[in-house]
């Protein structure tokens, strides 16, 4: 048995573990009595027109066979045109590679780009699957600390951590687990630091923007589209969250046509996808792409849930970091060890995820992709949890990222 993979399989992620625990608890005490903030499973309905379009596409025998490894040409062209019109980029179909969601976009990109002993920079807090996917590649993971108030990256720390071996920097905004949308100024500074270091070392440092939450923004702030700021940039996009199609497994990789070795990267993606056995993304959903670009689910349900949580949890006294997007927020644990806090929360039927696997200690993540009634019903449990700490809890001060 492959030891690394066996270990990964035997030790499921804490999110999955809590999700399974919650399902068992729901069977015991009834679903309405369990407040499960663990998993980021989108809850807003899939738009009706999209469901109908899937039905139409599925009816044709032409749409059930293999496509080329990098995906249906018309769909890749549609993505390039959409991105160019929306963000002023200059993609061609040949810069786009269709994937089974963002997870496979990440796995294919990492395998396409990285060699042994390369260094990969992750900004804390980071999506825990990055280290999991990277773990078979024998690369060195280097962590950059956040500014604890805003949860944006500490850019001085970034500057200090880049070496001649740095090959890849990963950003995820709006962020899982904090919801934080990086400011345009932050993206500009990251870009200029990377430019400077590339010149200093004579290397290519790629910036990969993981974007499953790109359109999931509740404020009026614009999304800082990465190719407008940095030449060696790669995008991993997914329709999972913005259209509530996480189970349909469709997304894409886009590389800036002006990036170093952009063409070779695409060939390497074909090779990586063969190595990983992806073959091609599901054809029905590839063919759906031209019909869904620019459409999103109705996010008002997340917005409402988010506001209810923010108001009530801050009123209770919790310290919260809540960005402008995704459907996650961070709650400061009321004791040093967030794992113990999460365990205690379970006794109130609250399922919250300690952020240790995200590289951040002392917080839990709440996913508010939940029915409004569940969120409303959970408030008493949060209050009881808070009160259960008596005078022993942290000194609370209100922190919000915007």
Report if residue 353 touches ligand PLP, rule: CB under 6 A. Answer: no
210 contacts ligand PLP (rule: CB under 6 A): yes
Comparison of 169 and 385: residue with beta carbon closer to ligand PLP: 169
CB nearer to ligand PLP: pick between 209 and 319:
209
Q: Which of 40, 42, 323, 362 binds ligand PLP (CB under 6 A)?
A: 40
Pick the stretch among 101-109, 148-156, 162-170, 360-368 that binds ligand PLP (CB under 6 A): 101-109
Q: Is 248 in the site for ligand PLP (CB under 6 A)?
A: no
- Cβ proximity to ligand PLP, 72 vs 172, nearer residue: 172
Question: Nearer to ligand PLP by C-beta: 240 or 349?
Answer: 240
Q: Does 246 bind ligand PLP (CB under 6 A)?
A: yes
Site size for ligand PLP (CB under 6 A): 13
Q: Please give, one letter per residue, the 3-state secondary structure of the chain.
A: CCHHHHHHHHCCCHHHHHHHHHHHHHHHHCHHHCEECCCCCCCCCCCHHHHHHHHHHHHCHHHHCCCCCCCCHHHHHHHHHHHHHHHCCCCCHHHEEEECHHHHHHHHHHHHHCCCCCEEEEECCCCCHHHHHHCCCCCEEEEECECCCCCCECHHHHHHHCCCCEEEEEEECCCCCCCCCCCHHHHHHHHHHHHHHHHHHCCCCEEEEEECCCCCECCCCCCCCHHHCCCCEEEEEECCCCCCCHHHCCEEEEECCCCCCHHHHHHHHHHHHHHHCCCCCCHHHHHHHHHHCCCCCCCHHHHHHHHHHHHHHHHHCCCEECCCECCEEEEECCCCCHHHHHHHHHCCCEECEECHHHCCCCEEEEECCCCHHHHHHHHHHHHHHHHHCHHHCCCCCCCCCC
The residue (of 105 and 334) whose beta carbon lies closer to ligand PLP is 105
Query: Does the footprint of ligand PLP cover residue 212 (CB under 6 A)?
Result: yes
Q: How far is the CB of 325 from ligand PLP (least distance, A)?
A: 11
174 binds ligand PLP (CB under 6 A): no
**Residues 34, 98, 103, 330: which binds ligand PLP (CB under 6 A)?**
103
101 in contact with ligand PLP (CB under 6 A):
yes
Among 63, 69, 166, 240, interactor with ligand PLP by CB under 6 A: 240
Rule CB under 6 A: say whether 285 interacts with ligand PLP. Answer: no
286 touches ligand PLP by CB under 6 A: no
Q: Which stretches of the chain bind ligand PLP, using CB under 6 A?
A: 40, 101-103, 127, 172, 176, 210, 212, 238, 240, 246, 251
């Amino acid at each position: 048995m492959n030891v690394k993979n066996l270990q990964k399989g035997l030790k499921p992620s804490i999110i999955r573990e809590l999700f399974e625990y919650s399902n068992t608890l729901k069977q015991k005490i009834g679903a309405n009595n369990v407040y499960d903030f663990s998993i980021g499973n989108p809850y807003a309905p899939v738009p009706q027109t999209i469901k109908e379009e899937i039905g139409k596409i599925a009816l044709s025998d032409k749409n059930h066979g293999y496509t080329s490894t990098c995906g249906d040409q018309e769909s890749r062209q549609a993505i390039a045109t959409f991105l160019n019109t929306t963000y002023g980029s200059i993609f061609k179909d040949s810069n786009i590679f269709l994937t089974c969601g963002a997870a496979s976009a990440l796995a294919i990109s990492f395998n396409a780009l990285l060699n042994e002993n390369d260094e990969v920079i992750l900004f804390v807090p980071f999506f825990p699957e990055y280290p999991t996917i990277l773990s078979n590649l024998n690369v060195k993971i280097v962590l950059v600390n956040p500014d604890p108030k805003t949860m944006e990256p500490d850019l001085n720390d970034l500057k200090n951590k880049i070496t001649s071996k740095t090959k890849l920097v990963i950003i995820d905004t709006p962020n899982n687990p904090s919801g934080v949308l990086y400011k345009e100024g932050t993206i500009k500074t990251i870009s200029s630091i990377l430019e400077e270091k590339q010149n200093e070392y004579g290397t290519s440092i790629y910036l990969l923007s993981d974007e499953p939450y790109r359109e999931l923004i509740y404020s009026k702030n614009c999304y800082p589209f990465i190719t407008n700021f940095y030449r060696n940039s790669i995008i991993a996009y997914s329709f999972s969250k913005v259209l509530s199609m996480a189970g349909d497994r469709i997304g894409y990789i886009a590389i800036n046509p002006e990036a170093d070795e952009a063409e070779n990267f695409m060939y390497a993606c074909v090779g990586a996808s063969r190595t990983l056995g992806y073959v091609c993304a599901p054809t029905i959903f590839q063919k759906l792409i031209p019909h869904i670009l620019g459409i999103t689910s109705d996010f008002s349900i997340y917005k409402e849930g988010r506001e209810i949580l923010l108001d009530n949890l801050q009123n209770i006294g919790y310290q919260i970091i809540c960005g402008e997007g995704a459907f996650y927020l961070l709650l400061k644990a009321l004791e040093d060890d967030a794992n113990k806090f999460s365990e205690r929360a379970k006794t109130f039927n609250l399922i919250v995820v300690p952020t240790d696997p995200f590289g951040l200690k002392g917080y839990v993540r709440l996913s508010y992709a939940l029915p409004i009634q569940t969120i409303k019903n959970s408030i008493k449990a949060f209050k009881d949890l808070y009160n259960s700490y008596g005078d022993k809890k942290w000194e609370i001060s209100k922190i919000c990222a915007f």
